[in-house]
Amino acid sequence: MTPLLLLPGWGYPLLLLACSLVPAVTIFLLPRDAQRLRNLVNLGGAGLKLLVVMAMLWGVYQGQSYSFALPLGAGLELLLHIDALALLFITLSALLWFVTTIYAIAYLQDDGEQRRFFGFFSLCVASTVGIALSGNLFTFFIFYELLTLSTLPLVAHQGDDKSLAAGRTYLRYTLSGSAVLLLGILWLEVAAGSGSFLEPPLGMAVLAQESPITLTVIFALLIAGLGVKAAIMPLHGWLPAAMVAPAPVSALLHAVAVVKAGAFGIVRVVFDVYGIELMQALHLGLPLTIVASATILLGSLIALRQEEIKRRLAYSTVSQVSYIVLGASLLTPLGFIGCLAHLVHQGIMKITLFFCAGIFQKKLGIHRIDEMDGLGARMPLTMLAFSAGALGMIGLPPMAGFISKWYLGLGSLQAGQGWVIPVLVGSSLLNAAYFLPPLYRAWFRPARVDWPERPAGRWEAPLWLILPGVFAAMAALGAGVFAAFPVSPLEWARLIVAREYTLP
Amino acid sequence: MTALAAVSLALTPLLPLLMALAVVPPRSREWVARLLPLAPLPALAAAFLVQSGGDLLLEPVLLGLDLGIDGPRRLLLVMTALLWMAAGLYGRGYIPRDAAQHRYNAFFLASMGGNLGLIVALDAPGFYLFFSLMTLCSYMLVVFERGERSYRAGRVYLVLSLIGEMALLWGLLRAVAAADSLMIDDMPVALAEGGALTPLLLFFGFAIKAGQFPLHVWLPLAHPAAPTPASAVLSGAMIKAGLLGLLLFLPLGEAAFAQPGLLMAALGMVTAFYGVLFGLPQRNPKTVLAYSSLSQMGVLISALGVVQASPQAAPLLLPAVVFYALHHGFSKGALFLSVGVVQQGRTGRLLALSVAAVAAVAIAGAPLTGGSLAKLLVKAGVEEAQGTAASLVAPLLSWSAVGTALLMLRFLAALAAEPRKQGEESKEPPGAGWIFWIPFAGTAALAQLFAWSLVLVEGAEVAEKAVTAYGLWESAWPLLLALVLAAVWLLAERRLNLPKPDVAEGDLIAWVPTLAQVRESGHRLYITLARPLRRRPQLVTATGQGLADVVQKWEQALVRPQGLPITLLLLSGLLLLVILAS
C-alpha cells in the first residue's frame, strides 16, 4: 500500500477522477468574478492530483493495481482500473494539466469568460483521466464522449464566426466518429461479450475461429471511429480548423486531451481488446502501418505549405500522432515501447511549441512564419524553448523525439517491416524542412517590424507564460538525455511492455 | 579503471558541454572565455589514463552511454584534443571581443564536446548523439560571420549534413538490429554477414562528412566561411569524424568484399584528383585548403577501400590510415591558422610564410617530413594487398602526391598574395602576436613531432626506409615534378597571356539550382506539360497540383455537412477491402 493515503484499493481511481471533477463543478458554482478563488481551486486540484499520481506510480511500480467496478445492469459495468499503461497516460495528463493551468491563468487574465473556460477545461481533463482509467470499452466510450462535449466550448471559446465554425466542424467530425465507434463497440459486445481491457473478451477466440471477417469489420469500425480524434488521414480535417482556439486549449488538445485520447484508444484496442496474437492471426497490423505511414508523410508534406505558425504545428501533430499508431501497428515489443514513449514525448514537445506560439501571438501579434524574423533577440527564452521543441520534433538527439524514433525504427525491423525506416527518416527531413526555416528567421534575420519596446529590467513576457514552456522544453530534453533513467517515460514504457506484452 | 581515469573520461565530452552552458549566465561567460583553451584537457588526460578494454557505463544517460578509448580512438583523441586546444587559444586573439564572441564560444565548445564525445563513445546511440551535436553546432560556426556568403555556405552545409545524418540513422538502426547490440564493436561482424544496404547507408552518411565526391560541395563552401580557428578544427579534426566512423563500423579486415572495396577505392581516388583539379583555380587560400582536405580524405578512403577488398592488408594499412589522418590533422590545422597569422601580422609575415611552407610540403610528403612517413606507410600497406582495388590505388597514390604538392604550392602562392587586414591591427596591444603564433607554430611542430616519435616507438623500419635513397627519392619526385609543372605553368601564363581560370567555390553547387529556381522551372514544366492536356482540365488539376493539394481539397469537402458521414462509410469500406485483401 502506498504510505501517503490509506484508502482501499478501489478508492484510488475515484480519488484521481475527483481531483479534476470536483474543481470542475466548484468552478461552475463559484461566482464569475471570484478569480483568485477559482485559480486556487484549479491549481489545488491539479497539484493534489500530481501528488496522488506520484503515490500511484510508486504503488504500481511495486506491482499493485487498483480497480473500481460498478455494475449498471444489463451486463454493462463501469470499470475503472489503474495499471501501468493507464498510469503512463495519467501521469502525462496530470503533469501537463498542471503546467497548462498555470499558463492558461496567465494567458486569459483579461478574458471575460474565465469561469466557462476553466470549468470546461477541468471537465476536459477529468474526461481524459476517465479515458485513461477505463477498464472496458463501454466506460471508455462514456468518457470519450464527455471529452468531445467538454472540448467544444473550449474550441469555440472566442465566440466569433470563425471559432463557431471551427466548433461546428469539430463536432461534426467527432460525433460522426463516435457513431462509428459506438457501432463497433456494440457489435463487439453482442458478438464476443464485453470489450474488457483486463483480459481479452471471452468470445474473441471463439469468434476468431468462426467468423474472422466479423472481427475484422469490427476492428475497422473501431479504428475508423478512434481515428477521427487521433487525426489519421483523411479524418484529420477538424484539427487544423480547431487551431482558432486560444493557445492553452490548442496546447492541451494537441498534447494530451483529444488527439491523445484517440491514439490511446487505438493502443487499447490493438493490445488489450484484440491482443497481439489475434492481430497477427487476422493480419490487421499491416494495413494500419500503411495508413499511419501515409499520414506521417502527408501530414508533414502539408505542414510544409502552411504559412501560419499554429496551422503548421497542427499538421505536424497530424503527422506525429501517427507515430504512436505506427508503433502500435508493428505488433513488436520494441515498436510498442516506441509507441508508448512517443505518447509522452510528443505531448511534452508539442505543448512546448504551442505555449511558445501562444506567447508570440499574444505579446507581439505574430501569427505567420514570415513575421518571426528577429524574434530570437526579442524573446530569447521563449525562442529557446521553441527551438528545443522543434529540434525534438525533427528527432535530433538528445531530444526526446530521437528516443521515440530509435525505438520505432528498431521495432519496425523487429517486425520485418524495414520499409518503415525510410518513412521515419523522410519524416525527419520534412520536419527539418518546416521547422528549421522559422528557427533561421528568428535567430538570424533582423526584425522587420518595430515591436513595442521591451520594458527595461522586465522579462520578455509575463513570467507565468514563459515558465510553462521552458519547463516543458526541459522535460523534453530530460526525457531524451536521461532516457534510461528509472522514472523516464522510456523506462516506464519498457516496464509496461515487460509486464504485460511479452510475446509468447 | 581508476577513479581519475573514469572522471577524465566522463569529462571528455562533458566539460566542453558544461562550459558551453556556462556561457548563458552573464557572470560566468567571461570566465568561460578565459578558460576556453583548457576545455580539451580531460580528453588529453583520458587518452593517457584510460586503458584499452575498460569502459565507463553511464547507465541513465541516453540509452546507456558507454565511454572508452581503444584502437584508433586514442591517437585520434590526442590529435583532436590538441587541435581544439590550439584553435581555442587562437580564437582568443582572432574573434573580436564583443558581445558576439560569447555566441562563438558557446558553439565552439559544444562542437568540441560533440567531436571529443563521438571519439570516446562505444555505443551507437551515443556516437550518433555526439556526431549530430557536432554537425549542428558547427553550423553556427560556419555562419558566425553572417552575411550572404556565410548563410549560403551554411544552408548547403546543413541540407547535406542532415541528409547524411538521416542516412546514418537509418544505417545505425539496421546495424543495431542486425548485431542485436548497441555496442559499436559488435557491428563490423554483423555487417560482414548482412546485406549491402546497411554498410552502404553508413558509408553514405560518413562520406558526406568526409567530403567525398559528389557530395563534397558543402565542404569548400563551409570550411572557409567559418572564422579561421573554426576552419582549422573543421578541416583538421571534425572531418576525421567521417573517417573514424568508417573505421569503427565497416567490416574492415573481417572478410573480402571485392566489389564494394573497389567502388570505395575508386570513389576515394576520384575525390583525391577532383579536389586537386578544382582546388587549383581557387584564389582564396582557405578554399584551396578545403579542397586539399577533401582530396586527402579521398586518399584515405581509397586506402580503406583496399582493406575492404583484401583484408590481409588490414594490419598494415589501418594503422597507416590513422597515422596519415593524425599528421594531416595537425598540418592542415596549422595551415588554416597560418592564414590568420599572415593576414594579421605586420612583423613576422615572412617567418609565418616559411612555417606554413614547411607544413605545406609536409602534407605534400616532402622527404623526411611526417607526411612522407605517412605516405610510405600507406604505400607499403597497399602493396601488401592484392586484387583490383589495390592495383588501381597503388600507382595513383604517387600521382595524387603530385596533385597534393601542386595544390600546396597554389596555397602558398595564394597565402603570399593575401593582403594584410586593415584597421584591426592597430587596436592590438604590442606583443599580442603570441596568441596566434603559439597555436600556429605549435600545431605545425606537433605534426612532425608526433609523426617521428610514433614511428620511432612503434615501427622503426619505416623510419629507416625514409632515410634510404629509395625513400628519399620516393618522397621527393612528386614534389620536384610539381615544382617543375608549376614553373612551366607560370612561364606559360606570362608568355602566352593565358586567361586565369575561375571556378566557383563548391564547383558543382553552382549548377544546383536554388529553391526559387526549382519552383520556377517546376512551374514552367507544369505549363509545358499541361498544354497538351488542356482539353481535360480536371486531369491536369489532379495531377499537376500534387498529392497534398488533393488531400486539402478533400479536407474542404469534409467540412460540408454531408461530407464526413459519406467519407467515413467509404473509408470503412476501403479499410475493409484492404484488410480482406491482405
Q: Mind listing the pLDDT tens digit for each residue in A176-198?
A: 889 899 999 888 888 887 677 77
At which residue does the C-alpha cell 505488433 appear? A331
- C-alpha distance from A479 to closest chain B C-alpha (Å): 9
Partner-chain contact A213 B580, CB within 8 Å: yes
How does strand B56-58 pair with strand B65-67? antiparallel
A384 vs B: CB within 8 A: no
Q: What is the pLDDT of residue B513?
A: 58
C-alpha cell at B48: 593517457
Q: Which three three-digit cell numbers place residue A289?
A: 502501418
Residue B530 in this model has a pLDDT that exceeds 80: no
pLDDT at A1 over 50: no
Contacts of A444 in chain B (CB under 8 A): 143, 146, 151
CA distance A422 to A177: 31
- Return the number of other C-beta atoms located less than 10 Å from residue B145's C-beta: 16
Q: What is the DSSP letter of A242?
A: G
Of A33-42, B2-11, B440-449, B569-578, the least confident = B569-578
Mean pLDDT (whole number) for B463-471: 78
User: Are A418 and A452 spatial neighbours (Cβ–Cβ below 8 Å)?
Assistant: no
Helix axes A84-107, A258-268, angle to 10 degrees: 180
- Looking at every residue in chain B, the average pLDDT score rounds to 84
Q: Taking residues A221-247, what's their average pLDDT?
A: 88
Q: How far apart are CA B108 and CA B114, in angstroms?
A: 10
Interface of B with A in 154-183 (CB under 8 A): 158, 162-163, 165-167, 169-170, 173-174, 176-177
Instruction: State residue A346 phi and psi, 5-degree precision.
Output: -60, -40
Task: Give buried/exposed letters for A48-85 (b at 16+ CB in 10 A, else e).
Answer: bbbebbebbbebbeeeeebbbeeeeeeeebbbbbbbbb
Please give the pLDDT value at position A504.
41
Asked if residue A38 lies in contact with residue A93, where contact means CB atoms within 8 angstroms, the answer is no
DSSP symbol at A369: G
Nearest CA in chain A to B549: A302
Give the B window 108-127 contacts with A, CB below 8 Å. Answer: 125
pLDDT digits 0-9 by tens, B502-516: 666 766 666 665 656
Highest mean pLDDT (candidates A108-117, B89-98, B266-275): B266-275
Q: Are strands A76-82 and A66-73 parallel, antiparallel or unpaired?
A: antiparallel
Q: Identify all chain A residues contacting B171, using CB atoms and an 8 Å cutoff.
A: none
The SS3 call for residue A365 is: coil
- Residues near A455 by beta carbon (within 8 Å), at least 6 away in sequence: none
pLDDT the model gives residue A356: 94
Rounded Cα gap, residues B3 and B46, in angstroms: 11
| Model pLDDT, residue B541 | 46
Question: Among A195-204, A404-413, B134-143, where is mean pLDDT lowest?
Answer: A195-204
Q: Where are the domains of chain B?
A: 1-215, 252-420+440-496, 515-544, 549-582
Instruction: Closest CB to A444: pick one of B143, B571, B579.
Output: B143
From B78, B134, B80, B145, select the one nearest B108 (Cα to Cα): B134
- The 3-state DSSP class for residue A48 equals helix
Q: Which of residues 430-449 of A touch B (CB under 8 A)?
A: 432, 436, 444
Q: How far apart are CA A340 and CA A327, in angstroms?
A: 8
Nearest neighbour of A484 by CB, restricted to B63, B167, B176: B63
Residues 44..73 of B with a Cβ closer than 8 Å to A: which? 59-64
Res B511: pLDDT? 62
Which residues from chain A sit within 8 angstroms of residue B163, using beta carbons? Answer: 429
Per-residue model confidence (pLDDT) at position A319 = 93
Contact A235 B568 (CB under 8 A): yes
Average pLDDT over every residue of B297-306: 93
> Tell me, what's the pLDDT at B581?
60
Burial class (CB in 10 A: 0-12, 13-18, 19+), A204: buried
pLDDT category of residue A18 using cuts at 50, 70 and 90: confident
Q: How far is B207 from chain A (nearest CA, A)?
A: 18
For residues B113-143, b (16+ Cβ closer than 10 Å) or e, as one string?
bbbbbbbbbbbbbbbbbbbbbbbbbbbbbbb
Give residue B430's pLDDT: 47
At residue B539 the predicted structure's pLDDT band, cuts being 50, 70 and 90, is: very low
> Hey, which residues does A336 pair with through a beta bridge?
none
Contacts of A306 in chain B (CB under 8 A): none
Q: Is B550 on the interface with A (CB under 8 A)?
A: no
DSSP alpha helix (H) spans, B70-99: 73-94
Task: Give the whole-angstrom CA distance, residue A52 versus residue A66.
Answer: 13
Among the partner-chain residues B132, B143, B575, the one whose CB lies closest to the CB of A224 is B575
Rounded distance between C-alpha atoms, residue A163 and residue A147, angstroms: 18
**Cα separation of B211 and B300, whole Å?**
12
- Is residue A432 predicted with pLDDT exceeding 50? yes
* CB contact (8 A) between residue A224 and residue B568: yes
Closest CA to A408 of A428, A435, A383, A437: A428
Residues A403 and A480: beta-carbon distance below 8 Å: yes
ipTM value, please give it.
0.90
Report the distance separating Cα B107 and Cα B23, nearest Å. 10
B146 at the A interface (CB within 8 A)?
yes
Question: What pLDDT is stored for residue A3 in this prediction?
Answer: 47
Tens digits of per-residue pLDDT, B167-210? 999 999 999 999 989 999 999 998 888 888 999 999 999 999 99
Side-chain-side CA neighbours of A63 within 13 Å: the count stands at 1
Per the CB < 8 Å rule, is A484 touching B551? Answer: no
Nearest partner of A379 among A269, A284, A463, judged by Cα: A463
Sign for the CA dihedral angle at B253, B258, B264, B266 comes to positive
Grid cell for residue A40: 486556487
Are the beta carbons of A80 and A127 closer than 8 angstroms?
no
Q: Fill in the DSSP letter of residue A269.
A: I
Answer yes or no: is pLDDT of B537 > 60: no
Comparing B543 with B142, the larger pLDDT belongs to B142
Pick from B21, B62, B545, B578 the residue to mutate for testing the A interface (most A CBs within 10 Å): B62
d(Cα B82, Cα B439) in Å, to the nearest integer?
A: 9
Question: For residue A238, what pLDDT is reported?
Answer: 86
Quick check: B368 pLDDT over 90? no
pLDDT digits (tens, 9 = 90+) for A132-176: 999 888 899 999 999 988 888 888 888 888 888 888 888 888 888
- Measured CA angle at B123 (ends B120, B129), to 5 deg: 75
Grid cell of B539 as nine digits: 486531369
Distant-in-sequence, close-in-space partners of B543: CB < 8 Å, separation ≥ 6: none
CB contact, 8 Å: B198 with chain A? Answer: no
Q: Which residues contact A473 (CB under 8 A, 6 or more apart)?
A: A352, A384, A385, A388, A389
Whether residues A484 and B552 touch (CB distance < 8 A) is answered with: no
Q: What is the pLDDT of residues B127-175, one digit of tens each?
A: 999 999 999 999 999 999 888 888 888 888 998 999 999 999 999 999 9
Asked if B581 is an interface residue toward chain A (Cβ–Cβ < 8 A), one would say: no
pLDDT reading at B532 higher than 60: no
Show the cell assigned to A434. Answer: 518546416
What average pLDDT does range A110-131 have in this prediction? 87
pLDDT digits (tens, 9 = 90+) for A436-472: 999 988 988 888 877 777 776 677 788 888 999 999 9
d(CA B336, CA B443): 11
Q: Are the C-beta atoms of residues B83 and B443 closer than 8 Å to each other? A: yes
Place of cell 529557446: A384
Instruction: Write down the pLDDT at residue A457.
Output: 67
Confidence of residue A57 (pLDDT cuts 50, 70, 90): confident
Give the span between the Cα atoms of B240 and B81, in whole angstroms. 13
CA distance A336 to A415: 11
pLDDT in tens, B216-234: 888 888 888 999 999 999 9
Q: How far apart are the C-alpha atoms of A191 and A193, rounded to whole Å?
A: 6
Q: Is the omega angle on the peptide bond into residue B395 within 30 degrees of 0, that is, cis?
A: no
User: Is the separation of the CB atoms in B366 and B408 below 8 Å?
Assistant: no
Percent of chain B having pLDDT more than 90?
41
Name which residue leads in pLDDT, A7 or B439: B439
A286 vs B contacts (CB less than 8 Å): 582
Q: Is A340 at the interface with chain B, CB within 8 A?
A: no
What average pLDDT does chain A have?
Answer: 87
- The band of A199, judged by pLDDT with boundaries at 50, 70 and 90, is confident
Letter for the amino acid at B503?
Answer: V
Q: A481: which chain B residues are within 8 Å (Cβ-Cβ)?
A: 61-62
Of A455, A482, A483, A466, which is closest to residue A384 (Cα–Cα)?
Answer: A466
Cβ–Cβ under 8 Å, residues A83 and A29? no
Question: Residues 38-77, chain A: which have Cβ within 8 Å of B?
Answer: none
pLDDT band of A245, cuts 50, 70, 90: confident
Peptide bond just before A398 cis, omega within 30 deg: yes
The more confident residue out of B554 and A297 is: A297
C-alpha cell at A43: 491549481
Answer positive or negative: Cα dihedral of A116, A121, A127, A130: negative
Query: What per-residue confidence (pLDDT) applies to B509?
Result: 67
Q: Which letter does DSSP use for residue B245 in this model?
A: H
Q: Which residue of A has its CA nearest to B574?
A: A220
> What pLDDT score does B363 carry?
92
A323, A232 contact by CB (below 8 A): no
Q: Are A207 and A146 in contact (CB under 8 A)?
A: no
B224 near B294, Cβ under 8 Å? no
DSSP H or E run through A80: strand A76-82
Hey, is the C-beta of A240 within 8 angstroms of any chain B C-beta? yes
Q: In whole angstroms, what is the distance from residue A247 CA to residue A241 CA?
A: 13
What nine digits make up the cell of A141? 466510450
Task: Give the C-alpha separation, B234 to B241, whole Å.
Answer: 10
In this structure, what C-alpha cell is assigned to residue B377?
606507410
Ramachandran region, residue B253 (left: φ > 0; alpha: ψ -120 to 50; beta: rest): left
Residues of A in contact with B579 (CB under 8 A): 216, 219-220, 282-284, 287
Cis peptide before A234 (omega within 30 of 0): yes
Q: Which residues of chain A are within 8 Å of residue B551 when distances are taken between CB atoms?
A: 233-234, 298, 302
Q: What is the pLDDT of residue A227?
A: 92
What are the sequence ranges of the domains in chain A? 335-451+460-504
Q: Name which of B34-43, B308-317, B536-545 the model is least confident about.
A: B536-545
Residue with cell 520494441: A334
Q: Is A219 on the interface with B (CB under 8 A)?
A: yes
Under the banding of pLDDT at 50, 70 and 90, the label for residue A348 is very high
Note whether A216 contacts B173, CB cutoff 8 Å: no
- Our CA-based measurement puts residue A298 at a distance from the nearest CA of chain B, in whole angstroms, of 7
Q: What is the mean pLDDT of residues A419-435?
A: 93
